[in-house]
């Protein structure tokens, strides 16, 4: 596959320290792993916002009718994956991901994993949704692979809560 470049816009509205390279590397790895021909040679971009529990709960209720906080919400720019693949532009905006680090910090111990592991797992989950993946063995397997690779990378130990 010809290399696809990535562009990541980060909007941190929390007190959590965000390491942009951690997220950029995960985005690059997901794009490489899924190997979508329609992204070959293109620049794929996403926007990610880090928000608090109250804000993500409000948005979760508005869009999913669930009156509770959650870890991640994804909003695709395209209605169907075929819309993305038929896009002939050299730059493609995939959509926006909302992440609640506070929620992830509380849920990681329940899964017996580190905050960094869960953050990588959840962020890759959001990206995969933007690429048309639905919950299932393939999606969860890719998330696991990404989380294992990046959670143990000492150069990203700067992520602080």
> Tokens 């942009």 appear where?
20
CB 25 within 8 A of CB 13: no
Order the strands of the 91-99 sheet from edge to edge. Answer: 5-12, 43-50, 91-99, 72-76
156 — pLDDT class (breaks 50, 70, 90): very low
CB 150 within 8 A of CB 121: no
> Tokens 């695709």 appear where?
76
Asked if the model's pLDDT at residue 158 lies above 60, the reply is: no
- Give the domain range for residue 22: 5-154
Averaged pLDDT score across all residues of the chain: 88
Supply the DSSP symbol for 132: T
Spatial distance between the Cα atoms of 50 and 11, rounded to a whole number of angstroms: 6
Supply the DSSP symbol for 88: -
CB 126 within 8 A of CB 147: no
Q: Does the residue 71 lie in any domain?
A: yes
Q: Does the residue 143 lie in any domain?
A: yes
The total number of structural domains in the chain stands at 1
Q: Does the residue 42 lie in any domain?
A: yes
pLDDT of residue 3: 55
> Tokens 């959650």 appear where?
70
> How many CA atoms does the CB half-sphere of 91 hold within 13 Å?
4
Asked if the model's pLDDT at residue 1 lies above 90, the reply is: no
Element (H, E) at 55: helix 53-64
Q: Does the residue 85 lie in any domain?
A: yes
Spatial distance between the Cα atoms of 46 and 56, rounded to a whole number of angstroms: 18
155 — pLDDT class (breaks 50, 70, 90): very low
Q: Does the residue 133 lie in any domain?
A: yes
Q: Does the residue 159 lie in any domain?
A: no
Q: Does the residue 160 lie in any domain?
A: no
pLDDT of residue 91: 87
pLDDT of residue 79: 79
Q: Does the residue 161 lie in any domain?
A: no
Q: What is the pTM of this model?
A: 0.89
SS3 160: strand
Asked if the model's pLDDT at residue 20 lies above 70, the reply is: yes
Domain with residue 36: its CATH number is 3.40.390.30
pLDDT in tens, 31-81: 989 878 878 888 889 999 999 999 999 999 999 999 999 999 999 988 777
């Amino acid at each position: 596959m010809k290399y696809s470049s990535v562009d990541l816009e980060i909007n941190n509205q929390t007190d959590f320290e965000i390491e942009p390279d951690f997220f950029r590397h995960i985005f690059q790895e997901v794009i490489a792993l899924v190997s979508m021909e329609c992204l070959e040679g293109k620049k794929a971009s996403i926007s990610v916002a880090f928000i608090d529990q109250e804000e993500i709960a409000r948005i979760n209720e508005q869009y999913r009718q669930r009156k509770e906080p959650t870890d991640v919400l994804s909003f695709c720019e395209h209605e169907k994956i075929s819309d993305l693949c038929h896009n002939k532009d050299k730059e493609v905006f995939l959509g926006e991901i909302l992440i609640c680090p506070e929620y992830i910090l509380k849920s990681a111990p329940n899964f017996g994993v580190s905050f960094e592991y869960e953050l990588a797992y959840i962020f890759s989950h959001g990206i995969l949704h933007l690429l048309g993946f639905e919950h299932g063995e393939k999606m969860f397997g890719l998330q696991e692979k990404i989380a294992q690779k990046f959670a143990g990378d000492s150069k990203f130990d700067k992520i602080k809560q």
